[in-house]
Amino acid sequence: MSSARIILIRPERKTIETLDEPPESMPQDGFIWMACDRDTFSREPDVVQGLLARWTGGRLLELHVSDLLNANSPSQFDFTSRYEMLVFRRLADNQFETGTDAAPAANAKNDRSASKSNPLPAARKAQTLPVGFVVFEKVLLSVHPPGCSVLEAYSRRLDQLASRELEAAGAAPSGPTRLPDAPAELMLRIVSQMVDAYLDLRKTMTRQLDHWQQRLLRPNIYFDNWDGLLKARQSLHHLYDICEDQHNALDRWMDVLEDLPAPDTPDAQHEHDQLLVRSRDILEHIERVSHHVRQLERSAETAIQIHFNIQNNRTNDVMRMLTAITAIFLPLNLIAGIFGMNFQFTPWLHTKLGFWGTLAVMLLIAITLVAFFARKRYLSSSKLD
């Protein structure tokens, strides 16, 4: 398995070792993390099953193998008498790394011109990929997408932790400088790193939706990209569903942890408490992302409603002003129509002051109506700037 990575972690010795060849048997101290991509696992499932049988004495169920190989598998949790399986969806690397504010200044004009057709790059970042974990007592199997950045990032993180522990060999390791004690803790640390990416995504989504809300609330801008807004709302709803699946999977994992027999040694109790604390921390982060997505959905709905209210107010202003103007000219048209009738004996029609008198009356009526409508604020506008 040239594409698989096998790492031997020895917390007591404060060392990690990347093995070139799979060991024949399970080492006496420490545990093994075997990380492989989904393509390798699909090509060589028997090799992976053989290594697990050699190290743990058990094999994966075929149904669980199918879940690990399924690129569309939702976040889920399942367990057997020998192992626990967790599938957790993370953000896709290419989606998370594109569409940021780090674009060159030369492309700013193109970005602005494309914002109308593609105004919410954060919605594209909501695309996710599944990562599968199988936790044995002394072995962690993780199945990643090809070229997974999470695998590379946490491998470097393990190297840094091992270096720090070696530098602080005389002191008791604690906090973030401590290597994971068990496969389950290593899995939770990797999952926590995935959830942190969702927390970072909130800032970009908030910034982009705030931009859209400003456009919706400005009455002098004609907003017509409703298709893009609908897609953004669908992406938010999709992200909320992902968070719900993740929350349910971690809930089931915690139920299994809490149902385990009480540890009989202080070290085992500490390890068990460590798993519970990390699980609760991940759940709290997932809830924060889910709550924030819900807030963004409500904010988008509110902005749309306010937008239509503003448009209605603008329409009412226009109609009120047109009605007032019509009311002003209506009596003037009436007078002009009366004196324009083709009768031979029309009063004032043949007098010298008939024209000026009629014009003065019409002007007086117009000024009176304008003053009246202005006092009633029929000629003012309630448009928000």
Question: What is the phi/psi pair of residue 148, to 5°?
Answer: -70, 125
Task: Determine the length of the chain.
Answer: 385
Q: What is the pLDDT of residue 205?
A: 76
Query: What's the CATH code, domain 315-375?
Result: 1.20.58.340
Instruction: Quickly name the fold that domain 5-310 has.
Output: Beta Polymerase; domain 2 (3.30.460)
Helices (H) then strands (E): counts for the chain? 11, 7
Residue 377 zone, left/alpha/beta (φ > 0; ψ -120 to 50; rest)? left
Domain spans of the chain? 5-310, 315-375
Question: What is the phi/psi pair of residue 9, to 5°?
Answer: -110, 125
Q: Out of 184-188, 195-199, 343-347, 368-372, give the one with best mean pLDDT.
A: 184-188
How much is the pTM? 0.71
How far apart are alpha carbons 58 and 81 in whole angstroms? 10
Cβ density class 350-376: b for 16+ within 10 Å, e for less: eeeeeeeebeeebeebeeebeeebeee
How far apart are alpha carbons 37 and 143 in whole angstroms? 5
**Both tokens assigned to 67:** 């879940």
Q: What is the pLDDT of residue 197?
A: 85
Residues 331-362 pLDDT 10s:
888 888 888 887 777 777 778 788 888 889 88
How far apart are alpha carbons 45 and 289 in whole angstroms? 35
- In the block, which residue shows the tokens 């990209």? 225
| pLDDT at position 187 over 90 | yes
**Closest C-alpha to 238, from 185, 161, 191, 290:** 290
| pLDDT at position 208 over 50 | yes
**Closest C-alpha to 85, from 103, 99, 105, 69:** 69
Sequence-ordered alpha helix ranges (H) in 218-350 = 226-259, 266-339
With a pLDDT cut of 90, the percent of the chain lying above it is: 26
Residues 13-69 pLDDT 10s:
788 888 888 888 888 888 999 999 899 899 989 999 999 999 998 899 999 999 999
Evaluate whether 122 touches 205 at the Cβ level (below 8 Å).
yes
Q: Report how far apart the first and last C-alpha atoms of the chain are (Å, whole number).
A: 65
